[in-house]
Amino acid sequence: MRVLVAGGAGYIGSVTVAHLLECGHEVVVLDNLSRGHRDAVPREVPFIEADLADTSKVSQSMSERRIEAVVHLAAFALVGESVTDPGLYYRNNVTGGLSLLDAMTRSGVRHLVFSSTCAVYGEPARVPLVETDPLEPTNPYGETKLAFERALRTYHRAYGLTFVSLRYFNAAGATAKHQERHNPETHLIPIVLEAAAGVRPHVTIFGTDYQTPDGTCVRDYIHVADLATAHVAALEYVRGGGEPGVF
């Protein structure tokens, strides 16, 4: 399958690209490099430096490369930043995402896997969550991801787009070839390791009133390699005729 990975130069995207190649798929990476790294993309993989908002360029690239499916990992994902600059998140995650869907429609690409988030649920009333639990995001990051999910359903009804949205929790870990490179670093595990190595003076723990034994937050993690495997499995599922939906 010929797959366009939007955001393929980022943390999760680069690992997903590697797994797609291992599974025998042809890959093209599209990234504006605002948060990704060019050297995270293998030299043999065609690379297009472009913004999702450039619908014409994205559509032309899909047509020229005869793309059959898209994995969308190009959303911004910092909760705090989304609160202080919500416009940035609505422009990139919603407007940019819609431009990607329009480019797919123009070029006849019908299959998409969306890298969504558990943030669409907000503060859960119970754990573990299930897909049918209420959707009540508490920040613009979650709101924008949910807005794009809803757009996917309307594009499915109107244009026949097939899709899977993956509402995963916190990505963590590294592979032999890919590691975390966030600037600024906001992920907990690298911050803890930096404190242990003396790179930063301490770790700040936020919150004292969670319903946990010591009142601090308990977080769920998924290894980035497992997450890449899930994205590829979802892609093969939807390409094989699976029903659109969320997982």
Q: What is the pLDDT of residues 113-122, one digit of tens each?
A: 999 999 999 9
Torsion region of 76: left, alpha or beta (phi above 0 gives left; psi -120 to 50 gives alpha): beta
Does 3.40.50.2000 match the CATH number of domain 2-172+221-246?
no
Residue stretches of the chain with pLDDT short of 70: 179-180, 182-183
| Per-residue tokens: 227 | 């997450």
11: annotated active-site residue:
no
CB 50 within 8 A of CB 57: yes
What's the pLDDT score for residue 189? Answer: 80
In the chain, what are the domain boundaries? 2-172+221-246
Alpha helices (H) along the chain: 11-22, 55-65, 79-84, 86-89, 97-107, 140-159, 188-196, 224-239
CA angle at 217 for the pair 214 and 220, rounded to the nearest 5° = 130
Selecting among 141, 168, 210, 237, the annotated active-site residue is 141
